[in-house]
Amino acid sequence: MLHTFLSRAALTGGLLLSALAHAGGCPAHYVDGRLPEIRNQKMLSATQELCYGVFGVMHSGLTRTPLWSAEHLTADNVTAASDLSRENSFHAEQQLPAGQRAELSDYARSGFDRGHMAPNGDMPDRSSQHESFTLANMVPQNGENNRHIWAGIEGAVRKLTKKEGDLYVITGPAFIGGDVQKIGNVLVPSHLYKLVYSPRQRAGAAYFIENKATSDYEMLTVAQLESRIGIDLLPSLSAQQKTTLLRLPAIRQRKR
């Protein structure tokens, strides 16, 4: 079970980190400059913050995936990204210890996509695009999910960003239940989420979806999502604000 795996890894991975209730190394990517706070103590071991040009990652050496990738997504960046052709440059993250990072070989012939958390389609320039292809920003994702319903979610968020002017977006995996799969040394998430927060409306909401070929998804409040994953994603918000549901676009799955 994942509970047992994380418990053992936490004990052997060294001292637990603090609750990370601080600005972190790249506060510009987060609402009010506040880094999310990990409440599930088993998740704290072997975490490392990584800061990139237009997004930040909290990486787990236990799952060898991000716990989240965070973006302050702006309309200008979305427009610039739309004019940028895609250049694949998947690579292992050399900032991470070899014993904690994913390698290209983990994903090879696994049957899973290398699924971006901070999407390539949000990246406004070549440097940011290259950074988005680090495996520290990837999870093993069902291919049908990645290319259809998830692509629709990413596109809807970009469209909403143009309407709102800017949004804060936190995307990540969830590991729920006891039947946890691995590819190589990388854990496969059971679910994926994309949390969207509008500073103009002071409200947020999240898409929450199983990591499988599906067209079904849930729309959660910030509070509901945080309860499921054990992370206080928006620590500067009040409890009442976390129950206010931002109206997110309904998703139409991309045609095959």
Q: Which residues, in sequence order, are bridge partners of residue 219? A: 207
- 22: its two tokens: 């601080």
Are 59 and 48 in contact by the 8 Å Cβ rule? The answer is yes
Closest residue by Cα to residue 195 from 238, 151, 152, 245: 245
How many residues in the chain? 256
Q: Give yes or no: 29 in active site.
A: no
Catalytic site residue from 116, 130, 148, 191: 116
Are 169 and 71 in contact by the 8 Å Cβ rule? The answer is yes
250 class by beta-carbon count within 10 Å (0-12 exposed, 13-18 middle, 19+ buried): exposed
- 24: its two tokens: 């972190």
Residue 209 to residue 192: CA distance in whole angstroms: 5
Helix, strand, coil tally for the chain in percent (to 5): 30, 30, 40
Hey, which residues are catalytic here?
116
